[in-house]
């Protein structure tokens, strides 16, 4: 496995290949990231991962400065998972001057749910992903990029961006990886205390309980707000501070209509704070 820190080095290494399979990350890797790396291997002729903590997607009050940096451990995990090339630029390499040009995804997709509670988040995500795509695929005919379904809205934003900019990149979603008790793996799970970690599975359990109510509803549009409110109240009684637990259409993350109450159409999404840690999860139904 090669590790490079500049765009020039990255492109030099990629000159011999025609179809990179790319897994972007902010490091502090867990089995969810490594599953994406393994999924990527048969999809291209070289497997590339990036490690870059992107300041643009953090609000001033969020955890950019304290976000775990575990570079050496990350590289060891990537090598074991079969990654061929790691791109680990510093901020000056990625942003040699203030990033005046930014990608603004459409409000109807990016300003709800995560975008509502983290204003500007998807501008930061879209901008850095577009820039990483330019770095990785700029010297190739195209390729494949993989993103985990745990960040469901992010995956949708990136899919729409690639389609609208006609980028020669296939976006592949990887299934959410979970601990034995059902907690979705996340780099931020490390912030949880032992007691919080035991409690954290309640977010996925709340989504499963919502799924049963959704599937039993005879008039989903009429019942949606009340079942969402019950799910949020259940978590709040346990000491959580929920931002949202909601049922949406998979296609555009808008509230479902009657015709959407059928298999393959819906996704449940949740975000809530437990202590000082904000967790997200989702469940396709």
Determine contact, residues 21/146, Cβ cutoff 8 Å: yes
33, 61, 116, 160: which one is catalytic?
A: 33
Is 233 considered catalytic here? no
Cα–Cα dist 29/22, whole Å: 15
Determine contact, residues 139/14, Cβ cutoff 8 Å: yes
Catalytic residue set = 33
């Amino acid at each position: 496995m090669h590790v490079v820190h500049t765009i020039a080095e990255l492109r030099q290494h990629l000159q011999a290949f025609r179809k990179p399979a790319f897994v972007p990350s902010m490091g502090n890797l867990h089995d969810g990231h490594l599953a994406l790396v393994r999924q990527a291997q048969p999809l291209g002729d070289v497997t590339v991962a990036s490690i870059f903590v992107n300041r643009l997607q953090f609000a001033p009050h969020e955890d950019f400065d304290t976000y775990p940096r575990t570079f050496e451990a990350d590289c060891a995990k990537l090598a074991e998972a079969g990654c061929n090339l790691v791109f680990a630029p510093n901020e000056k390499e990625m942003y040699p001057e203030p990033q005046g040009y930014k990608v603004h995804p459409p409000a109807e997709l990016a300003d709800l749910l995560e975008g509502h509670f983290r204003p500007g988040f998807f501008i930061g995500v879209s901008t850095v992903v577009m820039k990483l795509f330019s770095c990785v695929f700029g010297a190739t005919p195209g390729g494949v990029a993989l993103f985990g379904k745990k960040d469901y809205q992010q995956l949708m934003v990136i899919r729409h961006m690639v389609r609208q900019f006609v980028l020669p990149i296939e976006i592949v979603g990887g299934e959410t990886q979970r601990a034995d008790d059902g907690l979705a793996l996340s780099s931020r799970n490390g912030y949880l205390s032992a007691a919080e970690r035991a409690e954290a599975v309640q977010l996925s359990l709340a989504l499963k309980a919502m799924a049963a109510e959704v599937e039993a509803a005879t008039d989903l549009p009429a019942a949606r707000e009340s079942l969402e409110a019950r799910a949020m109240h259940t978590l709040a009684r346990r000491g959580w501070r929920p931002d949202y637990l909601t049922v949406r259409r998979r296609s555009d993350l808008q509230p479902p209509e009657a015709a959407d109450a059928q298999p393959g159409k819906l996704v449940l999404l949740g975000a809530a704070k437990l202590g000082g840690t904000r967790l997200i999860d989702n469940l396709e139904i």
